[in-house]
Amino acid sequence: MKDVCIIGGSRYFGKRLIVLLRDAGIDVTVVNRGSSSPPPGITHLIADRDDEEGFERALADRAFDVVIDQVCYTPLQAAAAQRLFRDRTRRYVMTSTIEVYGPAGSDGIPPASPGTPVTEEAVDPKLWPVRTDLPWRDPRFLERHYGEGKRQAEAVLAQGAVFPFAAVRCAHVLGGGADDFTGRLDHYVQRILTGGEIVVHRESRPSTFIHEREIADFLFWAAGSDFVGAVNACSHGELDVTDICAQIAAHGTAQPIYRTVDSGGGEDAEVSPFSFEHYYGMDNTLAGRLGFTFSNTMDWFPGVVAEAVAVRGGAGR
């Protein structure tokens, strides 16, 4: 692997992945809309992936050993990627999501049972139906159907088979301090430290997680591997919202104040992040068999919390 193209993903764990590839002596090309620049030593192409002609002009005659697609959200984007990279790469890795296992938006996903982590076979991209007629370009529709968009994007790339394709189904990513890119962990830190209310499902379910450094390591490893198909990427061990809050509360005298809401009414926009009414435990056995060794969540989660508390506590004193 000498030449890698990364679509999007020049922030958060994507930036860490770029540095890992660059420091390994790999020529890295990043293609994004120009809102953020990659680190030094990286070829930067500016293009909007939804402008297929402009994207093709930006690529010119370049070809790559591997493409890592960090921002493929719809079957339309996946189909365009097939056309653009059909003769430009020998391997295509898509960063997918744990949300492909979420039952919201599809009758074809039965809710997983707590205590039985879901395996890759639960959603087979080679068999999943594709609906390109849906309004995928409508941001509101896409936001409501994020998991389905990812499922169908995987399906297009798997069923087209114009290049070897792997889908990395990434668990919920956590990082502390400056690495809390989404602000979801800080949501809890801020409320617990200030005595604010935390809204959770009455029966909140656990999920699997992964550290932002570990997912960067996993994508680096996946790019250099030769497996195809979907693979789950998560640390060992699960957390629910009370586990997260308990770790934060352990760093001070304040205790979380919960307000519970009933499940069953669909996704409640008021509910805090990481409070899930459906179980989101993933089985990472396949990745282990393929040769990647994951950490245990509690090996790194307390440190992430300590960083997040230090940032918020320092800012408030």
pLDDT in tens, 230-278: 999 999 999 999 999 999 999 876 899 999 998 654 444 578 999 998 8
Write down the pLDDT at residue 266: 47
Tell me the average pLDDT across 5-19: 89
For the ranges 46-50, 75-79, 159-163, 213-217, which has the lowest average pLDDT?
159-163
| Nearest Cα to Cα of residue 227 among 170, 292, 281 | 292
> What is the pTM assigned to this prediction?
0.93
Q: What is the CATH number of the domain that holds 99?
A: 3.40.50.720
Tell me the average pLDDT across 71-89: 97
Q: Is the model's pLDDT at 105 over the cut of 80?
A: no
DSSP single-letter state for residue 296: B
Q: Judge whether 9 and 70 are in contact, CB under 8 Å.
A: yes
Tell me the average pLDDT across 154-173: 95
| Range with top average pLDDT, 76-80, 105-109, 307-311 | 76-80
Write the pLDDT tens digit of every residue in 119-144. 999 999 999 999 999 999 999 999 99
- The 3-state DSSP composition of the chain as helix, strand, coil percent (nearest 5) reads 40, 20, 40
Q: Is 263 exposed, middle or buried (0-12, 13-18, 19+ CB in 10 A)?
A: middle
Tell me the average pLDDT across 60-81: 97
> Percent of the chain, pLDDT > 90?
77
Q: Is the model's pLDDT at 32 over the cut of 50?
A: yes
Write down the pLDDT at residue 270: 79
Tell me the average pLDDT across 283-294: 98
Question: What's the mean per-residue pLDDT of the chain?
Answer: 91
Write the pLDDT tens digit of every residue in 174-225. 987 766 778 899 999 999 999 999 999 988 899 999 999 999 999 999 999 9
Instruction: Count how many domains the chain has.
Output: 1
Domain span at 70: 3-315
